[in-house]
Amino acid sequence: EEEEEEEEEEEEEENLEREREREREREINVLYPPKYSIWKITEMCDNFSKMADSLSLPLPLSLSEYLL
């Protein structure tokens, strides 16, 4: 019976730890959105540049011009 109680306590601790970890991740994601979005945007710009090069178009000067 004591073992069962110990196991339950351990499980509770693990759940709490997991919950704290999730909370930390949520906070981090709010402060610093996932990096892949930056990589994705960069990749899109690179692809746009390559496409423009292959069509020999002049490149827009800023990202905002890509989006217009």
Show the tokens assigned to 28.
Answer: 């981090």
pLDDT at 66: 58
Domain that holds residue 56: 2-67
**Rounded-to-integer distance, Cα 20 and Cα 14, Å:** 10
The pTM score is 0.38
pLDDT in tens for each of the 68 residues of the chain?
A: 777 888 888 999 999 999 999 998 888 777 766 666 777 778 888 888 787 777 765 655 565 565 55
- Total tally of structural domains belonging to the chain: 1
The DSSP letter of residue 52 is H
